[in-house]
């Protein structure tokens, strides 16, 4: 009996050890599955529950612009008729310059630069003839001088956090890092000038991703959701939510293997809004319809 008990105890200990090792080895997959199956659906239902203080808009497609479906979009910004695009993934990250033909609705490739294979490219922003491009975990903030004919790589800055999205209010850079915090950063050394926490109905919204400064507000993709939040930079409060579920559906109809909504670009010249996602075959020019009820 004693021998049998010992054997049973041994098997139990062995099983627990195997489970613990398995959980450790696959912790990334487990947390991703949890995020996908529990956290994101919870957040999506939060966004569709309209609150009195928050306006909910639906993005309506006005025009579809063909987009390279190999671009894993992490940064998107207009500079006049130039559309800058930064892409991610190790070994595939790029800085891409395209001329946007407003009337034809086409993108003409002008310049493309591959990042080093150990860089995972992230958000980008253009300010005062300088382009800044983040990397995810490497801490490098690439800078390109845009005053010449071709972008000229100059000395990088250091980011003390993960790099996700980037935009500018015209004085500072504004960066996301996957948390609910947005940091205003110096253009000279990327040091933190100010930090705001983004909250929706009092609840912190994390996984803020690609960003765009539009008319004094910060627009942010929320990673893995089909929603964009519009943030008041003075308070961090979400003042509007943009429901982009129909865009995701349309892009998925063209290619079921697309990744998430990510990429907001504001054409300040014509006051038009463009949205896309990772590996999406389209960039969508959209207008916003206010939803009266959830
Ligand atoms: Ca942007």
Can you give the residue ranges of every domain in the chain? 1-47, 54-290
Say how far apart CA 272 and CA 284 lie, in whole Å.
Answer: 11
* Mean pLDDT, range 226-240, rounded to an integer: 97
CA of 262 to the centre of ligand 1 (A): 9
Other C-beta atoms lying within 10 Å of the C-beta of residue 199: 16
In this structure, which residues have their CB less than 5 angstroms from ion ligand 1? 76-77, 212, 264
Instruction: Give the C-alpha separation, 78 to 28, whole Å.
Output: 35
What distance in Å separates the CA atoms of residue 84 and residue 96, rounded to the nearest whole number? 6
- Measured in angstroms, how far is the CA atom of residue 15 from the centroid of ligand 1? 49
pLDDT greater than 90 at residue 240: yes
Given pLDDT bands bounded at 50, 70 and 90, which one contains residue 6? Answer: confident
Tokens of 146: 């845009």
Ligand 1 centroid to Cα of residue 3, in Å, is 67
Distance 7 CA to ligand 1 centre (A): 61
- Asked if residues 93 and 110 have their Cβ atoms less than 8 Å apart, the reply is no
Residue 202: pLDDT above 60? yes
Determine the number of helices (DSSP H) and then strands (DSSP E) in the chain.
4, 22
Question: Residue 231 Cα, ligand 1 centroid: separation in angstroms?
Answer: 14
Strand-pair category, 82-87 with 94-101: antiparallel
Where b means 16+ CB within 10 Å and e means fewer, 12-50 reads: eeeeeeeeeeeeeeeeeeeeeeeeeeeebeebbebbeee
Name every residue whose Cβ is closer than 8 Å to that of residue 132 and which is 6 or more positions away in sequence: 124, 125, 126, 141, 142, 143, 157, 166, 173, 187
Q: Ligand 1 center to residue 123 CA distance, Å?
A: 7
Residue 247 CA to ligand 1 centre (angstroms): 17
| pLDDT (0 to 100) of residue 4 | 80
**Average pLDDT of the residues in 175-199:** 98
Confidence of residue 50 (pLDDT cuts 50, 70, 90): low
Cα(274) to centroid(ligand 1), Å: 9
Task: Pick one of 2.10.70.10, 3.10.20.30, 3.40.50.2300, 2.120.10.30 as the CATH number of 54-290.
Answer: 2.120.10.30
């Amino acid at each position: 009996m004693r021998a049998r008990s010992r054997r049973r105890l041994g098997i139990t200990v062995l099983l627990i050890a195997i489970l613990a090792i398995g959980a450790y080895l696959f912790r990334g997959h487990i947390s991703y599955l949890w995020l996908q199956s529990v956290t994101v659906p919870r957040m999506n239902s939060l966004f569709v529950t309209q609150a009195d203080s928050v306006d909910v808009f639906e993005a309506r497609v006005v025009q579809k612009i063909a987009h390279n479906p190999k671009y894993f979009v992490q940064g998107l910004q207009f500079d006049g008729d130039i559309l800058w695009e930064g892409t991610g993934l190790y070994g595939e990250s790029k800085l891409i310059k395209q001329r946007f033909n407003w009337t034809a609705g086409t993108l003409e490739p002008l310049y493309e630069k591959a990042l080093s294979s150990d860089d995972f490219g992230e958000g980008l922003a253009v300010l005062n003839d300088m382009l800044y491009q983040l990397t995810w975990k490497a801490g490098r903030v690439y800078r390109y001088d845009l005053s010449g004919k071709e972008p000229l790589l100059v000395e990088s800055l250091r980011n003390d956090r993960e790099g996700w999205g980037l935009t500018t209010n015209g004085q500072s850079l504004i960066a996301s890092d996957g948390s609910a915090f947005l940091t205003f950063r110096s253009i000279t050394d990327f040091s933190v000038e100010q930090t705001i926490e983004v909250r929706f109905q009092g609840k912190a919204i994390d996984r803020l991703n690609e960003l765009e400064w539009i008319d004094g507000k910060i627009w942010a993709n929320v990673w893995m959701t089909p929603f964009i939040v519009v943030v008041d930079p003075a308070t961090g409060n979400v003042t509007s939510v943009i429901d982009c579920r129909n865009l995701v559906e349309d892009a998925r109809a063209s290619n079921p293997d697309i990744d998430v909504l990510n990429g907001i670009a504001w054409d300040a010249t014509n006051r038009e809004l463009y949205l896309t996602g990772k590996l999406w075959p389209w960039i969508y020019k959209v207008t916003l319809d206010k939803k009266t009820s959830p």
